[in-house]
Structure 1
Amino acid sequence: MSGSGTLDERHALVTGAGSGIGTAIARALAAEGARVTLAGRRRAPLEALAAELGENAFVADGFDVTDPATIARGLDAARAGFGPVSILINNAGEAPSAPFEKTSLDMWSHVIGTDLTGVFHVTQAVLPDLKTHGEGARIINIASTAGLIGYAYVSAYCAAKHGVVGLTRALALELAKKGVTVNAVCPGFTDTPIIERSIAAIAEKTGRTREAALAEFTKSNPQGRLIQPREVASTVLWLASPGAASITGQAIAVAGGEVMAG
């Protein structure tokens, strides 16, 4: 795939690329000509996606966003094939649920470490590449509407995603004169394996039908549906494009009208 897209020859790193939103983003970037490093901890889904995307995909498995050593190894291998990274997509994350009073310190630390500190680790590691590239370099953080409003029973996740939005805004100001834009995409409840597992768990614990359990997630969306991963990917693709050069420091909700800026 060459000479056919707006991102030809650009090297994009996508964390959490093995499923859901990460997979959709990787497909969208590759379709526009980007060379995509698929980063994640599990090799099998990354290899399956790489086989689909062809020569413009590189697998960085064992890539743990909480471990700077594995990040460094993955980046070194990716740069050897595709050169410096000019588009960074911080997508890796987890969202376990529990009432606040039953949220253990281990759970809290794990979620903050993965969803927030993981963004810190990967961004610091990639930043020299981005600053060298300059004009057109992109950092796009996949946050959540949980980074804009509150949700019950996911206090650690809400705290982490609010942190990602704050980090996005601070970095946007620091890097504005370097030509690097920094934005957050904030999906509402999205049709991913994580949500499917949550729906199944609710149905099992409460005896509700799958449809009734699904309604718990769609009721907050005025459109009455789950967001599709490709819709999030389309927003990311726009932010990565040359036409979004003046968009920085923004937290863009992809949520069917659930969250509206004042």
Structure 2
Amino acid sequence: MSGLPRSSHALVTGGGRGIGREIASALARAGATVTVVGRNRATLDDAIASGSAHFAGVADVADQAAISATIKEAAARQPIDILIANAGVAESAPFAKSDAALFRRMIDVDFMGVVHAVQAVLPSMKDRRYGRIIAVASTAGLRGYAYASAYSAAKHAVVGLVRSLALELASTGVTVNAVCPGFTDTDLLAGSIDNIVKKTGRSREQAVAELSRHNPQGRLITPAEVADTVLWLCGEGAGAITGQAIAVAGGEI
């Protein structure tokens, strides 16, 4: 696997915890200068203290003005070569109980959060004729899941954006891809497991088994497996890989 270009600056949204934190750490170990962005200053500061990142900015990706200002500040230190649009939320509900507000929350964070971040970094990448844009989507962007119509719709939108934007930017030196993890062992998933336990009366072990059954390998994905895929896509040897939605899901897709 080819390494990162020298002195790369990577910005990771939702980089304070979970998959984003693991991606930030992998990029930092590979030699990139890493800026993490999120809503919680404490988790961002902890990422810096642990060596997973070098700089941090507080912003909600759903707030275009806030994320644009934060990215502008980061780019003033060093132009951004790599964007990992990872920030996301997940809520589940039967479609009949999924009101407009639920759909808006999923779209605003999971889809428009990607749009806002890409719009902020893209002009500079095009001017410099180099960039790696990677959206962390989900297998929910490649197939449907019952009781997750709003989340699945938002993630499908992310995959559609990636495929279209990759074609638009194919001659610019900027690649655009998505990674689509299956159910991954993070604190976000832990919240979903708690919700299953609360609503169904199942044990925690039964809830984990219910989610793991989607993966033919019979397990949850690890954040490190997602980060390794992202790191490959960021490397110099992945210049011909664009417009792809890569499932990290043990054969589920």
Q: Which bracket does the TM-score occupy, shorter chain normalised?
A: over 0.9
1:184-199 to 2 correspondences below 5 Å: 184-199=178-193
The one of 55, 76, 79 equivalent to 2:72 is: 76
Kept after mapping to 1: 8 A contact 2:68/2:116: no
The AA in structure 2 aligned to 1:218 is S
Q: Deviations over 1:128-156 (max 9, x none)?
A: 12112314x10001010000000011101
TM superposition shift of 1:40: 0.5
C-alpha distance in structure 2 between counterparts of 1:206 and 1:110, whole Å: 25
TM superposition shift of 1:201: 2.1
The alignment status of 1:252 with 2:246, answered yes or no, reads yes
Paired-residue identity, %: 58
Residue 202 of structure 1 corresponds to 196
The AA in structure 1 aligned to 2:193 is I
TM superposition shift of 1:79: 2.0
Kept after mapping to 1: 8 A contact 2:4/2:234: no
RMSD over aligned Cα atoms: 1.2
Kept after mapping to 1: 8 A contact 2:232/2:238: yes
Residue 56 of structure 2 corresponds to 59
- SS of match in other structure, 1:13: strand
If the length of structure 1 is used for normalisation, what is the TM-score? 0.93
C-alpha distance in structure 1 between counterparts of 2:164 and 2:151, whole Å: 20
Residue 119 of structure 1 corresponds to 114
- SS of match in other structure, 1:224: coil
The AA in structure 2 aligned to 1:257 is G
- SS of match in other structure, 2:169: helix
- SS of match in other structure, 2:125: helix
If the length of structure 2 is used for normalisation, what is the TM-score? 0.96
Query: Which structure's relative contact order is higher, taking Cα pairs within 8 Å and 6+ residues apart?
Result: 2
The alignment status of 1:223 with 2:217, answered yes or no, reads yes
Regions of 4+ moved over 2 Å: 5-8, 204-207
The alignment status of 1:176 with 2:173, answered yes or no, reads no
C-alpha distance in structure 1 between counterparts of 2:199 and 2:103, whole Å: 23
Unaligned runs of 5+ residues in structure 2 are none
Unaligned runs of 5+ residues in structure 1 are none
The alignment status of 1:31 with 2:29, answered yes or no, reads yes
C-alpha distance in structure 1 between counterparts of 2:60 and 2:82, whole Å: 19
The one of 98, 102, 105 equivalent to 1:103 is: 98
Count how many residue pairs are aligned between Structure 1 and Structure 2: 251
The one of 84, 104, 114 equivalent to 1:89 is: 84
TM superposition shift of 1:73: 1.9
- SS of match in other structure, 1:116: helix
Q: Deviations over 1:15-51 (max 9, x none)?
A: 0111110000000000011111100011000000011
